[in-house]
Amino acid sequence: MIDLHIPATQSTPKIHTEHAQGRLVMQGDSYPENSYELFNQVFEWIEGFLAEQPPRALNLELHLLYLNTSSIKAMMEIFDLLQAAHDRQHPVKVSWFYDARNERVAELAEEFKEDCSFPFDILAIARSAP
């Protein structure tokens, strides 16, 4: 399975996967006009990983900040994939880290979490001013 190493751009996040560790990391802002051009390859990677036998745990580490509504829709579809995996006893987990000064990011993560029953941590990190 080929890992993703997508560098960040002004309007898209850095996306990085580690198949061996069962880890997917996304970091930054996401507001492309068409989020599916970017996220389709992420859906494919996750679907591929979750279809493997024997099943291994998948951890998403998110350091996402601003998401436009197109990206929010794509993220919801990612969480739907994880929810379906969780429903068939496949271990999945999301850890969403945010800057403690920006509660908007926590609220955004919280709205996603409402619709998920798998482990979903929203973690404030104290960060010095840029």
Partner 1 sequence: MLDLYAMREQFSQQQIMLCFNGPISRSLLEEIGNALRNYLAAEHAHPSASMDVFAVYIEMTQNIRHYMTQRDWSEQDASATVVVSRNTEGRYVVSAGNLVEQADGEYLVNSINALTGLDKAELKGLYKEQLRRPRGQASTTGAGLGLIDIARKSSEPLQASLRPAEAGRAFFSLRAVI
Query: Where on the chain is the footprint of partner 1 (CB under 8 A)?
Result: 10-11, 31, 33, 36, 65-66, 68-70, 72-73, 76, 99, 101-105, 111, 115
Min. distance of Cβ 101 from partner 1 in angstroms? 5
Q: How is residue 83 written in tokens?
A: 């929810």
CB 53 within 8 A of CB 89: no
Q: How far is the CB of 36 from partner 1 (least distance, A)?
A: 8
**Closest approach of partner 1 to the CB of residue 48, in Å:** 21
61: left (phi over 0), alpha (psi -120 to 50) or beta: beta
Q: Name the residue nearer to partner 1 (CB basis): 52 or 111.
A: 111
C-alpha 130/C-alpha 128 separation (Å) is 6
Measured CA to CA, the distance from residue 56 to residue 46 in angstroms comes to: 12
Residues 120, 108: Cα–Cα separation, whole Å: 13
- Nearer to partner 1 (CB atom), residue 53 or residue 117: 117
DSSP 55: -
Considering the complex, state which of residue 57 and residue 76 has its C-beta at the smaller distance from partner 1: 76
Rounded to a whole number of angstroms, the minimum distance from the CB of residue 102 to partner 1 is 4
Q: Which of residues 27 and 59 has its CB atom nearest to partner 1 in the complex?
A: 27
